[in-house]
Chain A
Amino acid sequence: MASLNKQALLRYRIIDELIGQRNYPTMQDIIGLCEDRLGKKFSKETIQKDIEAMKNDLSLGYEAPIKFNRTHRGYEYTDKEFSINTTNLNDLEKEQLKAASEILLQFKESKLGEAVIFNDISQKLNIIANSPELLYQGKIIEFENSNFRHYDLLQQLYQAIKNDKKINFVYYCYEENDISSYSAFPLLLKEYRNNWFLIIENKFNEPQEVNLNYMFDVFTIDTNDKPRAKLDVNKYLKHSVGVKVNSDFLDEVEILYNGDIANEIKNNPLHSSQNIIQEFANGDLLVSYKLYITPELISEILKYGDSAFVTKNELVQDLVFEEISDNWVEYRRMINSRRR
């Protein structure tokens, strides 16, 4: 692939502009204009490579029909209407593509981006948006760094999902301290709190989540099997906090949030079903949810400490109480012993 840097992109645009004028520019014409516009010297070989890339480098996506016309002794597009800029994007769309490109560039700089899907896409978006100026510009957006180790595995699973391939893998179940092997169809990759999870179709034809940190020796199986029913994983996930996929019935939960965190809850809902029942004069907020009760839900509630109190749903109250009571007893014991 051609070295896709800002200079090269600018030269492609100049070459495109010149050939597009239908005056059969010569090599010297092209070199001259590139040097005038970009303020530096270019060799014939550089421009020849540029033309070759515009014609044949599929990763650029131009496939420009450039031909040297012997009669006129200059370059032409055999398709007279061709231009590398014929994307018909309006300014707003170009801006949106630039923003998308910048987001993708963030991932490209990580191991994750290197491994998977984002390779070169952001640069292609820049070409489409005709804005090479964006390349190598300083960051405007920064995401949390995904400290992900198994990027090869992610790529492998991505391909398996895309091609409906069944996989075989060994999995260590942390909760049960057990290790087993499984064959299953992978359905969705999901990141949650800097960990990656795979949702699979289990042998009961239900979605089930596995943590990539505990998957070993994954390979695809050549089989004629197909997923029994393409599960709509998003349907399950939309009722969950986190990645636990649960097909049980939906629960209604009400939580009273302290005024100190009310704004945070309003701006960053715990779950998409969040519904504000009442805002109190002191800032407290009473909120309801309709969702599956998952361990991640309990963790999220605990995260707010004494600023979140579950007012409705006995199961959630029990689970939260269980989580805090053990530590509470231990803290009490330590504090008492200190006071003695």
Chain B
Amino acid sequence: MNNTIINVDYYDVAKTGLKVVRVGFNDEYTKVDLGFLYSDERENILKITDKIYLSDHTKKKKLIECNGVNLDEEIKLKSVKDFRYFSLKFEAFNEQKDKLMLVQSNSNGTKIAIIAIQLPKKAE
């Protein structure tokens, strides 16, 4: 599979405050670039744990690396001009996907979809 980068150009921000900005597929990993944005209507706190995984609704891919965020770090946005950009690398899918789900189990074991990813067809 070629290295494929997809710019995600929809404006939706998930209830968690996350926005997917870019997804990359290649033979080694699937990389999801995310922005965490402030809103008056949200808690503005986020914690990424090793329980996070990427799903295409049939297979689960484990987290292999994160950049711009540490596992179990509590990110707390303070103002409307505060934000965090970070990337998560997961095990590779064998092919490019157009629907993905980022899921994380919380402390009591329940799974929370932290963002659904709908990808456009056009890649770079």
Check if B85 sits within 8 Å of A183, measured CB to CB.
no
Q: Give CA–CA (A89, B80) in the complex, Å.
A: 59
Say if the beta carbon of A268 comes within 8 Å of chain B.
Answer: no
Q: Give CA–CA (A223, B2) in the complex, Å.
A: 13
Check if B37 sits within 8 Å of A177, measured CB to CB.
yes
Minimum C-beta distance from B82 to chain A (A): 9
Say if the beta carbon of A174 comes within 8 Å of chain B.
Answer: yes
Check if B124 sits within 8 Å of A170, measured CB to CB.
no
* Secondary structure class of chain B's binding surface, majority of residues: strand
* Secondary structure class of chain A's binding surface, majority of residues: strand
Given known A-B contacts A172-B35, A177-B38, A177-B80, A221 and B124 have beta carbons under 8 A apart: yes
Q: Convert B17-36 into 0s and 1s, putting 1 for each residue whose CB lies closer than 8 angstroms to a CB of A.
A: 00101100000000001010
Given known A-B contacts A177-B83, A179-B85, A170 and B5 have beta carbons under 8 A apart: no
Say if the beta carbon of A168 comes within 8 Å of chain B.
Answer: yes
Say if the beta carbon of A178 comes within 8 Å of chain B.
Answer: yes
Say if the beta carbon of A216 comes within 8 Å of chain B.
Answer: yes
Say if the beta carbon of B81 comes within 8 Å of chain A.
Answer: yes
Say if the beta carbon of A321 comes within 8 Å of chain B.
Answer: no
Cβ contacts A to B, 26 pairs, < 8 Å: A168-B5, A168-B7, A168-B124, A170-B22, A170-B33, A170-B85, A177-B37, A177-B81, A178-B11, A178-B35, A179-B19, A179-B35, A179-B37, A179-B83, A179-B85, A180-B8, A180-B9, A180-B21, A181-B7, A181-B9, A181-B33, A183-B124, A216-B68, A217-B22, A217-B87, A221-B124
Interface residues of B (CB under 8 A from A): 5, 7-9, 11, 19, 21-22, 33, 35, 37-38, 68, 80-81, 83, 85, 87, 124
